Chain A
Amino acid sequence: MKKIVAIALLVFIGALLFTGIYAIDGFPKYGEAKVADRVSEGYIMKNVTEANTDVVYGVSTNLETGSANYVTSIVVNYRSFDTLGEVTVLFVSSLGISLLLGGFSGKLRNRCKANFILRMGSKVVFPLIIMTGVYIFIHGHLSPGGGFPGGSMIASAILLLYLSDEKFRVNIENFKKTESTAGSLYVIIGLLGLVISNYFLSNFINTGTVGALLSAGIIPIIYVLVGLKVGSELTGVITDFLKEEVE
């Protein structure tokens, strides 16, 4: 009975969604979005206030953000304040997890013993995963990726070590120190922007040529900090989840 009511309700909501969304004036059909009419046009031309000029890879210099990856330039430069808030949300949720589970001291008892292939293979794969993660967040302004996937990749490398070795424990104190240092440096860079060019988190370093490794001003610095912060935070979460209450 309950399921029938739920299905009827959902058919009603679905019909409303399917007819309502496409009746909105200006809502694009799938694959027919007009980027030129949206606010993103200014982000693509890397100039949100003045008339548009063409940006050429490897030639244009001293733009608003010198990042070749447009998603990065939005996440870390134009909407960097959002990202600061988002990193704070992640910090609060990891704080809640360590409040709920961090008091336990035992290890999970039901884990199976790792087999030979996992034990030997993890030693080979672990440095490669760490290197890929660091590469991804250092090149966040040139190629797909950035601080969030890079940091998660580092956390998953630590997860691999946990799975392959039952006695393995990370020194969680050092991870907490790394995380708080990275978070504080993010805020300090924002305040430096406030002092130097009058608004919070402004890009106060010369942005260089589009496509060079040393370009885009504060974007690579902030993305490395975000990568370190996310990686150490998720490592802390995984470490908390591997604990169990001892009776």
Chain B
Amino acid sequence: MIQYAGIILMLIGIYGLLTDKNVIKIIVSLNVFELGLNVFIISVGFVKDGVAPILTSVNNHSGLIFVDPLPQALVLTAIVIGLGTTALGLAFARRIYMKYGTLDLEEIGGNN
């Protein structure tokens, strides 16, 4: 069920990227897209009735059915990179605002 939510969230993000003209809202749409992608990747490795991939004193041997740890490792680093790219995009948005005085992409194109 959450897998479908991930795919639909990705589609909503693409819709925002296609229709919005405001730079900040484009970055918000990119974040929504990324969120959907992360949810989808995690859901690929999910096993019903599996346990979280950590050995503890309760789940104490590797013969148990674990959730796949590989997609989680990929998403863990992808989230931190998402913060880096979002912050870089916002820095560019501030520069655009300083140069043109607006955030609307159509107005910026018309001034040239």
Decide if A75 touches B43 in the complex (CB within 8 Å): no
Q: Which residue of B lies closest to A144 (CB)?
A: B54
Whether B46 contacts A93 by the Cβ 8 Å rule is no
Contact assessment for A30 and B2 in the assembled complex, using a CB-CB cutoff below 8 Å:
yes
- The interface residues of chain B lying within 8 Å CB-to-CB of A18 are 4, 7
Enumerate chain B residues within 8 angstroms of A166, measured Cβ to Cβ.
Answer: none
Shortest Cβ distance from residue B58 to the other chain A in the assembled complex, whole angstroms? 9
List the B side residues contacting A210 at CB < 8 Å.
Answer: 55
CB pair B77 A58 closer than 8 Å: no
**In contact, A40 and B69 (Cβ under 8 angstroms):** yes
Instruction: Sort chain B's interface into a size bin.
Output: 35 or more
- The answer to whether A93 touches B84 (Cβ under 8 A) is yes
Say whether A70 contacts B53, CB under 8 Å.
Answer: yes
Residues on B lying within 8 angstroms of A by beta carbon are 1-4, 7-8, 11, 14-15, 18-19, 43-48, 50, 52-57, 59-63, 65-70, 72-73, 76-77, 79-81, 83-85, 87-88, 90-92, 94-95, 98
9 more contacts with CB within 8 A, not counting A35-B65, A71-B69, A152-B83, are A40-B69, A44-B62, A46-B62, A57-B55, A89-B84, A100-B92, A144-B52, A148-B76, A148-B77
- What residues of chain A have their CB less than 8 Å away from a CB belonging to chain B? 2-3, 6-7, 9-10, 13-14, 17-18, 21, 28, 30-33, 35, 38-40, 43-46, 54-58, 68-71, 74-75, 79, 82-83, 86, 89-90, 93-94, 96-97, 100-101, 143-144, 146, 148, 152, 210-211, 230, 234, 237, 240-241, 245
